[in-house]
Each structure stands twice: as structure tokens, then as C-alpha cells.
Amino acid sequence: MRTKSTKKNKINVVTLGCSKNIYDSEVLMGQLKANGKEVVHEDEND
């Protein structure tokens, strides 16, 4: 899993690997959103 910041408060989460990595990415995204960050997942941009 990699993250890259595209703006100060916008984070693009890129998930690599197995379904466990996808689950972990979703948990991370939820935590970031709860802390006021704008989060997108790479698949949402396709």
C-alpha cells in the first residue's frame, strides 16, 4: 500500500497486493476521513 498526497488535505490511496491489503486500505481511508482529510482510492479515478 502506498499513499501520495495530491493536495495539502487530499490523499490518494494506491492499494497493491491481496484482499487483506484492500481491507487495510479501507480501514486507513476511514481513519483519515474521520480526521478531516479528503481521501480517494485509485480505483475511483478509473
pLDDT digits (tens, 9 = 90+) for 1-46: 666 655 566 888 888 878 888 899 999 999 999 988 899 887 644 4
Q: What are phi and psi of 10, to 5 degrees?
A: -120, 130
Cross-strand bridge partners of residue 14: 2
Q: What is the pLDDT of residue 46?
A: 47
Cross-strand bridge partners of residue 13: 3, 41
* Domain residue extents for the chain: 2-45
The C-alpha atoms of residue 17 and residue 39 are separated, in whole angstroms, by 20
Q: What is the pLDDT of residue 45?
A: 45
Q: What is the pLDDT of residue 1?
A: 62
Q: Report if pTM > 0.75.
A: no
Q: What are phi and psi of 15, to 5 degrees?
A: -100, 130
Q: What is the pLDDT of residue 18?
A: 85
Q: What is the pLDDT of residue 16?
A: 84
DSSP E strands, 1-46? 2-5, 10-14, 38-41
